[in-house]
Each structure stands twice: as structure tokens, then as C-alpha cells.
Amino acid sequence: MLAQYWPVLLFIAVAVGLGVVLMAIGMLAGPSRPDSEKLSPYECGFEAFEDARMKFDVRYYLIAILFIIFDLEIAFLFPWAVVFDKIGAIALIEMALFLALLVVGFAYVWKKGALEWE
């Protein structure tokens, strides 16, 4: 039974070994010149000027979520296109309904102004 898992175990061992070796090379070969500026909490060179709990614009999250939703829905087209000749007319109707729903959703988002930045 262990013979079936041998390729997986070998893959995990190689991945962990490669990660350890690359980190060790980076620590040994990389320059290490710490100073007070680099060791400060803000490496960018200036202190924080606002509270970490400040309000954040929700539109960034909205655009990201909309991108993920529409991107994943479009990703469903690729497997469908690969097997299109085997699945027939019913699948064509189902995909037309799926794309119509996608267009309606996109029109709704556009009409609500979720894609505008002003």
C-alpha cells in the first residue's frame, strides 16, 4: 500500500528539501547590513501618520469580487468548448442560458454604478 503513495511522498520531500536549500542559500549569500532605519517598524522611512483602523473604500473589494465572479464564470466556457461536439444541442441551450444570465448580471452591476470610480 505504501508503494502507491511513494510518488507523492517523493514530491513532498523534494519540495521541502528545495525550499530549505533555497532559504539557506538566501540567508548565506544575501547581504545583511541591518541599521536602525531598517530595524524600525516602518521600513519605508517614515512613521505611520494615520490609525490602522481607518475606513477603507469598499469599492476596491467590490471590484475584486466582481472580477473573481465574472472570471470564474468565463472559466466555465473552456471545458464546455472542449467537449462541445460530444454534448449536443441541450448543452448549447444551457450555455446560452448561462451566458444570458452572465450578461444580465453584468448589466445590473453596470447600471448600479459598481464599476465607476467617481
Taking only the tens place, the pLDDT of each residue in 9-44 is 999 999 999 999 999 999 999 888 888 777 776 655
**Residue range 2-112, CATH number:** 1.20.58.1610
The pTM of the whole model exceeds 0.75: no
| Structure-block grid coordinates of residue 60 | 476596491
All structural domains of the chain with their residue ranges: 2-112
> Is 18 or 112 the better-scoring residue by pLDDT?
18
6 class by beta-carbon count within 10 Å (0-12 exposed, 13-18 middle, 19+ buried): exposed
Q: Report d(CA 114, CA 112) in Å as an integer.
A: 6
| pLDDT tens-digit map of 59-86 | 778 888 888 888 888 788 888 888 888 8
Q: How far apart are CA 3 and CA 55, in angstroms?
A: 55
What is the Cα–Cα distance from 21 to 43, expressed in whole angstroms? 27
Say if CB 21 and CB 14 are below 8 A apart. no
Instruction: List for the chain the helix, strand, coil content (%; round to 5).
Output: 70, 0, 30
- The three-state secondary structure class of 106 is helix
Grid cell digits, residue 96: 446560452
Residue whose cell numbers read 444570458: 100
